[in-house]
Amino acid sequence: MMIAIMRRAIAVTINGKRHSNEVEPRLLLIHYLRDVLGLTGPHIGCETSICGACTVLVNGKAIKSCTMFAVQANGADVLTIEGLASDGNLHPIQNAFWEEHGAQCGYCTPGMIMASKQLLDRNASPTEEEIRHGLEGNLCRCTGYQHIVNAVKSAAAKMGA
Amino acid sequence: MASVITEQEKLIGKGIKRKEDPRLITGTATYVDDMQLPGMHHACIVRSPYAAANIKSIDIKAALETPGVVAVYTGAAVKDVGPVPCGASLPGLRVPHHHILAQDRVYFVGHPVAVVVATDRYIARDGADLVEVDYDVLPAVADPEKALADGAPAVHPQWPDNVAFNFHQENGEVEKVFAEAEVVVKQRITSQRLIPSSMETRAVLAEYRSGEKALTIYSSSQIPHLLRTLVAGMLGVPEHKLRVVVPEVGGGFGSKLNVYAEEALMGWIAMKTGKPVKWIESRRENFLTTIHGRGHVDYYEIAAKKDGTITGIRLKLIQDLGAYHQLLTPAIPTLSVLMMPGLYRCQTICADIVGVFTNCVPTDAYRGAGRPEATHGIERMVDMLAAELKMDAAELRLKNFIQPGEFPFASATGLTYDSGDYAKPLKKALDIVNYMGLREQQRKARAEGRWMGIGMSTYGEICAFGPSPATPAGGWESASVRIEPSGKITVHTGVSPHGQGEETTFSQIVADELGVDFNDVVVLHGDTAIVQYGIGTFGSRGTAVGGTALYFALQELKAKIKRFGAMLLDTDSVVYEEGRCACRKTGNSVSLAEIAGASYRAMKLPPGTEPGMMATYFWEPPNFTFPFGAHIVVTEVDKETGVVTIQRYVAVDDCGKILNPLIVAGQVHGGVAQGIGQSLYEHGIYDDNGQLLTGEFMDYAIPKITMMPWIESEHTETPSPVNPLGVKGVGEAGTIGCSPAVVNSVVDALSPLGVRHLDMPLSPEKIWKVLQGGQA
């Protein structure tokens, strides 16, 4: 019944650091990050790529890491929430989520912040409608999203200043 | 970046950013699934695909042979573990024995049948796929009204009528009032099943230390201490040998105000195998097996005079309980009855609840828990009455409100409303939207053939649960405050915040009361090994009850600080201000850190005073609190598609004194989002065979960011006399106030078509059918 699973060697740059591991082909990127590397900032909320709690940037693009295999990230450059602050300084988006009360239980927050980063990387001064469109793939059950919209607006203003 | 508060000024009332957030925004918070213990196993649960079936056999051989599978357990192994507890008691309540794994029969889709324990989470799932269960499928019933019909399948064979309980409450001369009423309006109103959908599913990790015979259960819960007491009982573990730790919790909304089979099951497995074991609920399991909310079919009658005076309210409430009672399942509809009269003076009420078993997952407390259903009912009925009498909906409400001079007010259902000025938020909301102007706009819109609606709700709620006699397990709350020798402050609170921000609001209270730096306070919670017994976070009680316990602990501590201060200053009388004890006569003063240090060093003690600087207070509230407010919603219905667009959402909430407006706004927004979810999008649907058709986020539509309108949130502040902070609670207000305002608005929009009532959710399909001239 059990098929012997051949492990594959992968090398992934995560938050600027290169990691080499042998993984099962079926291992999801989110489990590679969380269980193998201990990067537990990205969360699992649905396992069906709807909620976005697992969002990380793969080669600069927001990806739901619950529906990507770790082997598919071989050779990629991955940024997780843990890599967003630099030299102990919070990223302006992180700061804006703090200032504007963009997080309540915090479970969706890492994914929401990473999706916001992609949004602002692509559009430095989005309108409210563009913010909502850009974060449509990330669910939050606590905030009603209003403070998240405020946070992204505020971050855009600070980053543009 | 705004500086974290350091200046010595009053912090209560300020929108201070939360001290919880640095760990949340950097991805360094610790939720249950973030923890790994040495030698930890993973569990995966095999669940019934049928709503009703006899289990003929279970073959675990193939699963056990899977490399990495450590053990497989079925119902037989755990038959002696105590049942999943129901904490609610009602006269004559039928309570089915709720085993942690099914014995010879399953009662709902998702019912746990077996559990596979493996070295890896993937292998655990592989093993679960290989467990072969042979079922003899039985007829099921998933609709509470169908379950009451003659000949319906019996959910529990020993109770063929499917009735778990009947509950009756009345006040006043009901028959006479209805017989003599000038107007009676009747309507069947449903509050559909909702799926709470916290973003973090349930999660349990258990560890047993055999040398100490000590079990630790980490769980994503709202009630660490109650969980400990109840799971200790289920497992036969002495309570002091069970530690429950609730780390970061990714939302609860009532769904984690419970004790679940899996919490005891993981504890049992950890003891059986001697290895730590983790179970993380999948989203599909969350939809199938974590409690649902609402599930009402309500038959309302409202009696009134022609001038609009409401004279009587009658309700037959059919509660879909599901297959079992979870912790509070049967108690939830009784809260609806308590809230029945809303904000209105009416003293004649009659309510009959029938609690019905169905082959579905149990319903229980979900944000608002009984009160949204009641508010939806009364606020829909008041609108229908206004339509019947051709009165303005706001005018009818103002006419029937309890007046400010009437508090404390004895309600028809036996409550004592603490304080209120119900016209105030309504008038404020009417002003904000320019109500008369809006009605004019509506006339123009209708002339242009557009369906624009204006709807309102004026809600009240029962919060700050609650006086202990009114609760199943105690309604008090505890706090301890410890000033360390250096003057830093550690608070232990019995509440268990999971997004509500009490680490921040409680630090504000401490900073103001003791005149210390906000950053010198740490608030700890959720670990039964370090925090004194507490009740937990639910029912908008965290700040109103837990914060008040903290307030009183601080008063005790201040008295002790002053005794030490007086001793150190060698005087009889000192004042305590801005973190220092001072003698007015000499002008000498001593800092809190010096006082704390002296209290521990204890070279000398004030007469009759113990060393150390700590106070613990268990506060029993004398009453609930009763927040209130008014929401006004402007909608437009698309004539082609039936899509409802919310054009304006104005919420004026009175939650008593506001400690942190930023946090209060967040609570209102989130509450409204869940109300809009119920009004327009969400519906937990079972088919006739008891299959959940809405088993994923793909089918069950919680609001996305593009589905939410901008919420204009305002407040009035009527302090509660129940506690010295004057707070009432705000966690559930948005949800309770929302759904009737949205539905009233859409019904108003469609009223020219003769529409008088619509049941939630107001999906485009439902509205489209109405627009085509059919029935909703």
CATH number (3.30.365.10, 3.40.50.300, 1.10.3720.10, 3.40.47.10) of B468-619 reads: 3.30.365.10
Look at residue B9 in the predicted model and tell me its pLDDT.
79
User: Region B641-655: what's the mean pLDDT?
Assistant: 98
Q: Which residue of A has its CA nearest to B130?
A: A1
Contact A43 B23 (CB under 8 A): no
Q: Which residue of A has its CA nearest to B662?
A: A101
User: Region B110-119: what's the mean pLDDT?
Assistant: 98
Q: Cβ(B665)–Cβ(B772) under 8 Å?
A: no
A98 touches chain B (CB under 8 A): yes
Q: Which of B44, B199, B707 to mutate to test the interface with A (most CBs of A within 10 A)?
A: B199
Cα(B291)–Cα(B326) distance, integer angstroms: 8
Counting beta carbons within 10 angstroms of the beta carbon of residue B380, is it exposed (0 to 12), middle (13 to 18) or buried (19 or more)? buried
CA distance, residue A75 to nearest chain B CA (Å): 24
Cα(A13)–Cα(A19) distance, integer angstroms: 6
Contact B669 A136 (CB under 8 A): no
Residues in chain A closer than 8 A to B734 (CB atoms): 144
Report how far apart, in Å, the C-alpha atoms of B270 and of each of A40, B158, B230 are.
24, 34, 17
Given B2, B26, B711, which is nearest A94 (Cβ)?
B26
pLDDT for residue A45 is more than 70? yes
Instruction: Quote the distance between the C-alpha of residue B391 and its chain's center.
Output: 35
Q: Nearest 10 degrees: CA dihedral of A128, A133, A138, A139?
A: 70
Contact A142 B666 (CB under 8 A): yes
Report how far apart, in Å, the C-alpha atoms of B494 and of each of B224, B474, B531, B540, B541 are.
9, 12, 7, 14, 11
Q: What is the pLDDT of residues B147-158, one digit of tens each?
A: 999 999 999 999
Q: Where are the domains of chain B?
A: 37-138+196-289, 140-194+292-390, 404-411+420-460+625-776, 468-619
Contact B25 A113 (CB under 8 A): yes
Cα(B283)–Cα(A47) distance, integer angstroms: 7
Contact B250 A50 (CB under 8 A): no
Look at residue B508 in the predicted model and tell me its pLDDT.
98
User: Region B474-487: what's the mean pLDDT?
Assistant: 97
Q: Cβ(B494)–Cβ(B479) under 8 Å?
A: yes
CATH topology of domain B37-138+196-289: Aldehyde Oxidoreductase; domain 3 (3.90.1170)
Q: Cβ(B459)–Cβ(B728) under 8 Å?
A: no
A101 touches chain B (CB under 8 A): yes
Q: Which residue of A has its CA nearest to B280?
A: A44
Look at residue B6 in the predicted model and tell me its pLDDT.
45
Its ipTM equals: 0.98
Look at residue B473 in the predicted model and tell me its pLDDT.
87
Residue found under tokens 């609606």: B453
Given A90, A128, A141, which is nearest B199 (Cβ)?
A141
Domains annotated on chain A, with CATH: 8-83 (3.10.20.30), 92-160 (1.10.150.120)
pLDDT for residue B2 is more than 90? no
Q: What is the pLDDT of residues B202-259, one digit of tens each?
A: 999 999 999 999 999 999 999 999 999 999 999 999 999 999 999 999 999 999 999 9
Class of domain B404-411+420-460+625-776: alpha beta
Peptide bond into B466 cis (omega under 30): yes
Contact A53 B199 (CB under 8 A): yes
Beta bridge partners, B632, equal B456, B650
Residue A10, phi then psi, degrees to nearest 5? -130, 155
Look at residue B5 in the predicted model and tell me its pLDDT.
43
Contact B283 A45 (CB under 8 A): yes
Q: What is the pLDDT of residues B265-300, one digit of tens each?
A: 999 999 999 999 999 999 999 999 999 999 999 999
Task: Walk across the sheet containing B214-219 and list its strands.
Answer: B69-74, B112-118, B41-47, B277-280, B203-209, B214-219, B242-245
Q: What is the pLDDT of residues B586-630, one digit of tens each?
A: 999 999 999 999 999 999 999 999 999 999 999 999 999 999 999
Q: Which residue of B has its CA nearest to A40?
A: B34
Q: Cβ(B357)–Cβ(B323) under 8 Å?
A: yes
Q: How confident is the model at residue A1 (pLDDT cuts 50, 70, 90)?
A: very low
pLDDT for residue B759 is more than 70? yes
Cα(B706)–Cα(B712) distance, integer angstroms: 17
A90 touches chain B (CB under 8 A): yes
Look at residue A4 in the predicted model and tell me its pLDDT.
59
Look at residue B773 in the predicted model and tell me its pLDDT.
84
Q: Which residue of A has its CA nearest to B503?
A: A104
Percent with pLDDT over 90 in chain B: 98
**Considering the domain B140-194+292-390, what is its CATH architecture?**
2-Layer Sandwich (3.30)
Contact B250 A51 (CB under 8 A): no
Look at residue B3 in the predicted model and tell me its pLDDT.
39
Same fold, B140-194+292-390 and B404-411+420-460+625-776: yes
Q: What is the pLDDT of residues B351-390, one digit of tens each?
A: 999 999 999 999 999 999 999 999 999 999 999 999 999 9
Percent with pLDDT over 70 in chain B: 99
Q: One-letter amino acid identity for B103?
A: Q
Q: How confident is the model at residue A3 (pLDDT cuts 50, 70, 90)?
A: low
Report how far apart, in Å, the C-alpha atoms of B666 and of each of A147, B11, B169, B731 are.
7, 18, 36, 9
> Chain-wide mean pLDDT for chain B?
97
Cβ under 8 Å to B: A residues 24-63: 24, 26-27, 31, 34-35, 38-48, 50-51, 53
Q: Which of A127, A146, A152 to mutate to test the interface with B (most CBs of B within 10 A)?
A: A146
CA distance, residue B25 to nearest chain A CA (Å): 6
